[in-house]
Structure formats: C-alpha cells, structure tokens
Amino acid sequence: MQKLKPDFEEVSPLKMIPLSLKLNPTVLDNMEAVRNRTRQNRNTYINLAIDVYNHYQRYKMMKKILDKESAFGSLYYFQIIKDLEEIKETKVTNIFDQ
C-alpha cells in the first residue's frame, strides 16, 4: 500500500512559522498518546492533523456546493420532462408518426 503524502511540502525548521497554541489538556494528552505510538515529532504530527482537518473542511464545502447544484439541476430536468409530457399530451408528436 502506498503511503499518502500531505498537501504541504517539508520545509526546513528555519522557514517554519512559530505559533503559540492553547490546547485543552485532554486533547493534548490524547495527541501525545497517539504521537508517541506513531513515533512522530510534535510539529510533524500537528502539521499532519491540521492538513487532515483542512481536507475535511474542503470536502464539506464541496459537498454543500454539489448538493445545491444537483438540486438545481434536478429541478431543471424535472421541468424538461414536464414540458415533454405536455408536448406528448397535445399530440404534437402525432405529426411525426405519419
């Protein structure tokens, strides 16, 4: 199985931006337990976690857009079907049957 790579590229520590965080102690303890088990350093783990969260948020945004567009598209096609049924009812298609 191929190992997935994050969207961000590895940069030297000199190019990284320092950030101060206030974490919930429970979240920190859970993070440390997982991080120790995966044997990743803290910065890499947090960068990967943020990358995964960003992917999730983009997925939610795209799903919302897609749901809205598909609803609009289905209304459009229902109108087309309705128009075609009206044409059939008016027997305009009988002209082509002869």
Write the single-letter amino acid at 55.
H
Q: Name residues whose C-beta falls within 8 Å of residue 47's C-beta, 6 or more positions apart in sequence.
A: 6, 8
Q: How far apart are CA 54 and CA 31, in angstroms?
A: 18
Its pTM stands at: 0.60
Note the pLDDT tens digit of each residue in 45-66: 988 898 889 889 999 999 998 8
Per-residue confidence (pLDDT) for residue 33, from 0 to 100: 94
In the chain, what are the domain boundaries? 25-97
Checking if the pLDDT of 97 tops 70, the result is no
